[in-house]
Structure 1
Amino acid sequence: MSHVVELPVVAPPTPAGWTPPATTGQSIAPVVERKLIPAGPAYLAHVKRAVHQLSFEEHDKHAEEERKRLEALNGANGNGEDDLGVGDEPEGEDLLSLDPKEWKKQDHYAVLGLSHLRYKATDEQIKIAHRKKVLKHHPDKKAGVAGDSNDDAFFKCIQKAMEVLSNPEKRRQFDSVDPFYEDLEQDVPTEKQVKSHKNPDAYFFQVFAPIFEREARFSRVQPVPMLGAVDATKEEVEGFYDFWYNFDSWRSFEYLDKEVNEGSDSRDDKRYTEKKNKSERARRKKEDTARLRGLVDLALGLDPRIKRIKQEEKAAREAKKQKKTGGAANGVNQKQKEEEEKKRAEEEAKKKEEEEKVARAEAKKAKAAAANAAKKARRAARADGEA
């Protein structure tokens, strides 16, 4: 516990012959108001304590836990820095015995210990991984070690891997032919394997979702629509297949180009090699496009959502047809009823007209008969008068 000690302070006496300085007559600079912005580790610690309502003891405890966590993340180095998930991958004998002259055949991600990240590794993670490998395999580290011939072959492989992966263009060329994914590209399930599975619908999404996720890294257009779920809408499914059938890939195969023979100054040899490389790149590009198109065709043929969408469209068409047929039937019945009523009215009118015609004929006949009877009566009366 601290104690406060008060010490008397006595100013020394003014020296003999001291006189106050004369005024210069110059004006004093005006007072300027300046804004001070708090910064620094002390201020950040104060903010953390204030925001999280921590005491000094609690803050120190959290800081110690964070330091231990960073040490655990960084592994054996223990320098208290976060290695961003790079970690330490085991190094097999095959990896350590790589020939630096065959650098095009080496897996640069595996050399730097980034096999678990590969194309997802950031530039900062690549730098951290390279620093770790240099600290471990630098020739100066091995100098004088018993049983070590100070072979720096693997160190040259490390430097070459860093050279390739730190250059965006060279890294893209290597990612195009990454041997790890080239093996996976051949491991695509067949139509028979999917259909013979005990649960083909679930198996379809299980195996094809990661395949399309890997292929998406080659797309010039981002973001890339993924396979989705079994209950995806018709628009989502159609958008997915439209995108993949028109897939714009940046994948190239320059990394596999054949190098011009060292020491050759022949212009013809260089031209021949360049022409051969260009032809091989075009061939590989064409084969890759056909492979991807075949993958999309296979997925389209096995996608359970396509069958569901077709059934829904068929049901909608039948319902529409049924509705249209029912409406048409009602219209026909109404029209038929109107025609029947019209026909009945016409028949009644015709019947009435015939009855009236018959009545007129009978009335005319009766009138003619009455006229004849009257005529006969007049004749008979004249005959009696003459007699």
Structure 2
Amino acid sequence: EQNKRGVVKINPMTIPRAPKEEEEKKEKKSKTSKKNKKKGKRGKQTESDDEYDDSEEQKMMKDKFHDEWEKKRKQVSKKDLETNTLLVDDHYHVLGLEDFGLAATEHNIKSAYRKLALEYHPDKKRPATEEEKKDEGEGDTLNPEEKVKKEIWLKILKAYETLIDPEKRKKYDSSLPFDENIPDEDDFDDESFYDVFTEVFNRNAIWAKNKPVPQLGNEKTPIKKVLKFYRYWDNFDTWRDFSCHDEYDLEEAGDRYERAYMNKENKKIRDKYIKVEKQRLIELYRIAYNNDPRIKAHNEQLKKEEEQKKKEKFEKKQKAREERKRLENEANRKLEEEKRKVEEAKEKQRKMVEIKKQLRETMSTKLIELADQKLKQFSYEYDQYAMEEIVKKLTDEDIQKLVNEITDMGEGQDEFDRVKVIIDQVKQDNIKRIKEEQKKDLKKREEAKESNKTWTKEDFALLVKALNKYPGGTRDRWKTIACFMGNSYTSKDIIDMTQQLQKRKNAGKKTKKEGDKKKAEDTSKTETKPEEAWSEEQQKSLELGLKKYPKTLPPKERWDKISKEVGDKTPKEC
């Protein structure tokens, strides 16, 4: 460059160029080439358009930063700037980036460094005059102005080397004073909330690893963006480094073991500060989230919707419960109605059976009385006890028929013989009827055996209940039990099962312990013979004996006679 002073030779500047800068230039060139290709396809651009790139726009942005930077430095005298540079230790202030601070970009740092290098770089000093050369020949010491410039340049170089290196800048930025204050809940209201917390969140956003950082917004911000903002800060990841609090310098380690120990101790200290920092950010998030008017309104809306859903759900359940209750009541009403009808039918049937029973007893009594009055004189075969036995086997129609015949019977042997023939005929008819019933009963039993019908627990329980309800001596006991069990089994089946139950009961009994054998033997002698099941013939003989020997007889005499009538049963068993 030639100026009034003459020709000045400028050596290449020793400013390191980051590989990122070269990559940015390549990307810009590729973008411009793509744009030019698109424009070429459209066929609307000239040759000058194909050669267009955005370097001019980039240059304008750079020039704008340069202009602002130069304007700011011109507002203060050069002497004051140099004095401040020597006095302060802030690297951003040394490069003139105090207004940017931690937000300064790599481009800002490089631009500021280049401008300062043009002024303070050692290669930029003017050529010395002959007198100065003589002075320099006398001594190698620098004049005060050069010393000041040298010190300033060293500070500029140190600031640049620190800020241009990501790791060094990270440690340096973390060591700078930082306002960690968080507003208390009494320091703001709904109106001032956005102003207070916007400043706090923006201040803390410089430590964010993940960028861009969402903004707090205002009362008009959609709730989705608000929730996204708080999700971001709930999972906030900070790059803030606390190595400035390290106790040991790793460069002073004598060996790798000492270095590992130092690193471990330094990590403990850093972890404590990191824990405190996380708690501080969590507290900031909590206070802001709990007091954000938009979140309050949103939560209130959600609460109302939840209450409305609960109300609708409760009403739906209530309606379903009422409907279910109505259906249950309807079903219960129908069931009660059916039960009532069944009970009425049973009661009606019971009354009819009772009437038939009373009618049969009346007719039987009348027949026995007529036989005692008119037939006994011709034959003792028709006395009271014999007629009672005959009446048991007769049907209601037969009893009525005999009553009518005996009533119409005249006097004399011929009339008796006629009636006797009728009685014998009735007996034979009943014998045939009984045999037919037995055949039917046998057939039914065989069918049951063929179907392999087994006794269930309910059948056994019903049988035990029937045996207790109709004990020995009950009239037509086995038929009554069969009827009680719903005629599912014949009288023979019931007798067989009763005998099996009795055998099981006897087999289940055990003697006492072996050490008490003598007592068991003594007691076994006095034990009575286990009660065996009663057959149908024994049951009928017992019923006949009970009627033949009334209660007016002495008890012992009466039961002895009854046991003789039965045959194989003792008085006690009877």
Shared fold per TM-score greater than 0.5: yes
User: Which AA in structure 2 matches 1:297?
Assistant: R
Matched-pair contact (CA < 8 Å) for 1:232–1:305: no
Question: Normalized against structure 1, the TM-score is what?
Answer: 0.56
Q: Distance in 2 between matches of 1:96 and 1:379?
A: 159
**Structure 2 partner of 1:346:** 339
Matched, 1:305 2:295: yes
User: 1:88: how far off?
Assistant: 4.7
CA–CA separation in structure 2 for the residues paired with 1:291 and 1:161: 30
Is it true that 1:231 corresponds to 2:214 in the alignment? no
Of 83, 104, 129 in structure 2, the residue corresponding to residue 97 of structure 1 is 83
Structure 1 residues 172-215: Cα deviation after superposition (integer angstroms, max 9, x where no partner): 01222444xx23x43x4332344x234x7xx45x6546644554
- Decide whether aligned partners of structure 1 residues 377 and 354 sit closer, same or farther in structure 2, where only a CA change above 3 A counts: same
SS of match in other structure, 2:72 = coil
**Closer/same/farther in 2, CA of residues 46 and 142 from structure 1, 3 Å limit:** same
8 Å Cα contact 1:88-1:113 kept in structure 2: no
Distance (Å, rounded) in 2 between the aligned partners of 1:381 and 1:255:
140
* Aligned match of 1:254: 243
Residue equivalent to 1:173: 171
Indicate if the aligned counterparts of 2:234 and 2:282 stay in contact, CA closer than 8 A: no
Residue deviations 1:86-129 (CA, integer Å, cap 9, x gap)? 855624768653354752xx1x2343344565445443442122
Deviation at 1:294, TM superposition (A): 1.8
What is the CA-CA distance between 1:345 and the residue it aligns to? 1.6
| Aligned CA distance change for structure 1 residues 192 and 347 (closer, same or farther; 3 Å) | farther
* 2-structure distance, mates of 1:315, 1:223: 39
Distance 1:197 1:334, change over 3 A: same
Structure 1 pair 223/70, CA: closer, same or farther in 2 (3 Å)?
A: closer
Checking the alignment, whether the CA contact within 8 Å between 2:289 and 2:295 is kept in structure 1 is no
Change in 2 beyond 3 A, CA 1:332/1:89: farther
**Distance in 2 (alpha carbons) for counterparts of 1:130 and 1:240:** 35
Kindly state the Cα deviation for residue 169 of structure 1 after the two structures are TM-superposed. 1.4
Q: Residue deviations 1:260-313, cap 9 Å, x none?
A: 9xxxxxxxxxx9x99998887566444433322321221332244367346145
Aligned to 1:130: 113
Q: Greater Rg, structure 1 or structure 2?
A: 2
Q: Is the 8 A contact 2:36 2:49 kept in 1?
A: no
- Matched residue of 1:350: which SS? helix
Contact 1:98–1:154 under 8 Å retained in 2: no
Equivalent AA in structure 1 for residue 156 of structure 2:
I
When residues 341 and 287 of structure 1 are mapped into structure 2, their CA distance, relative to the original with a 3 A threshold, is same
> C-alpha separation between the residues in 2 aligned to 1:276 and 1:142?
52
Equivalent-residue separation in structure 2 for 1:361 and 1:46 (angstroms): 119
Q: Counterparts of 2:285 and 2:231 in 1: how far apart (Å)?
A: 13
How many residues are paired up? 307
Q: Secondary structure at the match of 2:235?
A: helix
- Aligned equivalent of 2:284: 295
Partner of 1:13: none
Kindly report which structure 2 residues correspond to 1:200-239, keeping only aligned pairs within 5 A, or say none: 203-204=193-194, 207-208=196-197, 211-212=200-201, 215-219=204-208, 230-232=222-224, 239=231
TM-score, length basis structure 2: 0.40
In the TM superposition, what are the counterparts of 1:255-274 in structure 2 within 5 Å?
A: 255=244
Indicate the larger mover: 128-137 or 314-323.
314-323
* Correspondence for 1:159 among 157, 160, 175: 157
Compute the displacement of 1:157 (Å). 3.5
Distance 1:242 1:65 in 2: 40
Supply the distance in 2 between the matched residues of 1:335 and 1:171 (Cα, whole angstroms). 80
Q: Return the alpha-carbon distance in structure 2 between the equivalents of residues 90 and 259 of structure 1.
A: 41
Relative to 1, partners in 2 of residues 1:243 and 1:117: Cα closer, same or farther, differing over 3 Å? same
| Paired residue type of 2:336 | K
Q: 2:186 aligns to what?
A: 192
Question: What is the deviation of 1:360?
Answer: 3.8
SS in 1 for 2:224: coil
Unaligned runs of 5+ in 1: 1-38, 76-81, 261-270
Equivalents in 2 of 1:233, 1:354: separation in Å?
80
Q: Any stretches of 5+ residues in structure 2 without a counterpart?
A: 1-28, 129-143, 250-258, 368-399, 413-574
Bigger drift between 92-101 and 123-132 goes to: 92-101
After superposition, what is the alpha-carbon deviation per residue over 1:36-85, rounded to whole angstroms, capped at 9, x for unaligned?
xxx9xxx99986974572446x759x979985x6665444xxxxxx8699
For residues 234-278 of structure 1, the C-alpha deviation after alignment (integer angstroms, 9 at most, x for no partner) is 99588546524xx5x432233467999xxxxxxxxxx9x999988
Mean Cα deviation higher: 215-224 or 288-297? 215-224
RMSD: 5.5
Provide the C-alpha distance between the structure 2 equivalents of 1:100 and 1:337, rounded to a whole number of angstroms.
100
**Larger helix fraction of residues:** 2
Report the equivalent of 1:79: none
Residue 362 to residue 319, structure 1, CA distance change in 2 (3 Å): same
Change in 2 beyond 3 A, CA 1:84/1:259: farther
1:227 to partner: Cα distance: 6.3
Query: 1:25 matched to which residue of 2?
Result: none
Q: CA offset at residue 166 of structure 1?
A: 1.2
Amino acid at match of 1:358: K
Q: Tell me, in whole angstroms, the C-alpha distance in 1 between the residues paired with 2:190 and 2:100.
A: 31
Shift of 1:320: 4.0
